[in-house]
Amino acid sequence: MYQLTMQDIAYQDYPIQYFSSSSAALEEINIMDVRDNLLSIWMRKRPKELFYHSLIPLLEIDLSSIRPHFEIKNETSLSEGMLEMAVSEDMLEFDIVVRMPPKKEWSARLKVKSVEKATPHIVDPEGL
């Protein structure tokens, strides 16, 4: 059976599937398969490690005892740089007013026919 190798697959998150065959004997496993297998595991693990590394500054870690202590730092212990990162400029609002002139403007003289007191226009709510 043709087996997939790392050279066949470009996606790093797509694990290589190894097929277990009943006829597979120890002598059939070659060094290329072992290398591809290790490489595949390493590529899957690496992004996770980076992700956890990025969380380390947010934690208070005490490894001095046999029971390591991990705790999320409170906001006062977060560095100023991290706060600046959290409150980026993207979150600021700009309350700006631009007065645009109309596309066209003219006046007309009208004769007022009547002036009436308005009455409410009640719309029946649906489903009641």
* Cα dihedral sign, 52-56-59-63: positive
Q: Which amino acid is at 50?
A: L
The reply on whether position 128 binds other proteins by CB under 8 A is: no
Q: Nearer Cβ to other proteins, position 25 or 92?
A: 92
Segment contacting other proteins (CB under 8 A): 16-24, 35-43, 46-54, 111-119? Answer: 111-119
Query: How far, in Å, CA of 80 to CA of 75, rounded?
Result: 10
Write the interaction track for other proteins spanning residues 86-105; mark x where CB under 8 A is met and - where it is not: ----xxxxxxxxxxx-xxxx
Q: Nearer Cβ to other proteins, position 55 or 97?
A: 97
Mapped onto helix, strand or coil, the DSSP state of residue 69 is: strand
Least distance from other proteins to the Cβ atom of residue 102, Å: 4
For residue 76, give the DSSP letter: G
* Residue located via tokens 């790093």: 12
Query: Where does this chain bind other proteins (CB under 8 A)?
Result: 90-100, 102-112, 115, 121, 123
